Amino acid sequence: MSKIITYRHNRDGVDRRRFRTAWPGPDTALWQEPDRLTRKKWPYIVDGIIAGFVFFIIGWSVALSAQAQIRPDGKALFEKRCGGCHALDRDKEGPRLRGVYGRAAGAIESFQYSEALKRSGLKWTDENLDKWLSDTEKLVPDNDMTFHVEKADERTEIIAYLKNAGK
Ligand code: HEC
């Protein structure tokens, strides 16, 4: 006759699995009782799909927020870094900057530019704006803007913002 044997976990002594043996004698498992640990096969697959989906969503949102943090916001940067001297639509210590992208340097009539910038003959392209913001003195010696932006990605964002603000 077959018999039912219970496998006890060594450490906590809790019943883990129950086996029905094929024959009396050696405790060889023929089949396992469908207990808690070995129940249904399909629900695990469904659980797996749900878990995978949940992790995917979590991963996705973490990636998105990380990206948002890495990518500085052009408007905020402009206000923080440039806002002390510039506004889009009025002159302050520096000239108004709406539409500056693509414009000739020193073109705002109402603003008193340095001779150096007025005579520079520059046009504000991506490249020139990036050079200007990295080191104004190197691009136009003797200009009046004593300010630069250290980080390349911040410059890129600010330039993109100025580009959009011109539209
Ligand atoms: C300390 C004040 C100050 C800060 C801060 C400042 N600027 Fe200026 N900016 C000036 C002045 C002054 C001029 C005029 C320079 C001249 O005439 O030589 C100027 C000129 C410019 C010009 C040329 C405009 C034109 O019509 O040709 C651009 C572009 C510019 N600034 C962009 C920026 C940006 C972008 C920032 C922020 C990252 C910034 N500036 C921060 C004072 C400042």
Q: Is the pLDDT of residue 160 over 70?
A: yes
Identify the domain boundary among 51, 70, 89.
Answer: 70
Between 36 and 77, whose confidence is greater? 77
Q: Do residues 8 and 27 lie in contact, with contact meaning Cβ atoms separated by under 8 Å?
A: no
Phi/psi for 8 (5° steps) reads -105, 140
> 82 CB less than 6 Å from ligand 1?
yes
> Atom 28 (ligand 1): residue with closest C-alpha?
97
Q: How far is the CA of 106 from the centre of ligand 1 (A)?
A: 10
Identity of residue 43 = P
Q: What is the pLDDT of residue 166?
A: 77
Same domain, 37 and 106: no
Alpha carbon 61 to its chain centroid, in Å, reads 10
pTM of the model: 0.67
pLDDT of residue 110: 94
Give the model's pLDDT for residue 46. 79
Q: What's the CA-to-centroid distance between 141 and ligand 1, angstroms?
A: 14
Mean pLDDT over 91-119 rounds to 96
Instruction: Tally the domains of the chain.
Output: 2
Round to whole Å and give the CA distance between 98 and 88. 5
Note the pLDDT of residue 64. Answer: 84
Q: Are 125 and 107 in contact (CB under 8 A)?
A: no
- Ligand 1, residues 101, 127, 145, 164: which to mutate, most atoms within 8 A of Cβ? 145
Instruction: Give SS3 for 79.
Output: helix
Q: How far is the CA of 102 from the centre of ligand 1 (A)?
A: 15
Question: Among 65-74, 94-103, 134-143, where is mean pLDDT lowest?
Answer: 65-74
Mutate to test the pocket of ligand 1, among 77, 78, 79, 85 (most ligand atoms within 8 A of CB): 85
- The residue range of the domain holding 20 is 4-70
Name the residue of 81, 86, 115 to mutate for ligand 1: max ligand atoms within 8 A of Cβ. 86
Strand (E) or helix (H) holding 16: strand 15-21
Coil, strand, or helix at residue 6?
strand
| Number of C-beta neighbours around residue 82 at 10 A | 21
- Are 149 and 83 found together in one domain? yes
**What 3-state class would DSSP assign to 72?**
coil
- Give 136's pLDDT tier (boundaries 50, 70, 90): very high
Domain match, 63 and 80 both? no
Residues 86, 59 share a domain: no
CB 33 within 8 A of CB 18: yes
60 and 88, same domain (yes or no)? no
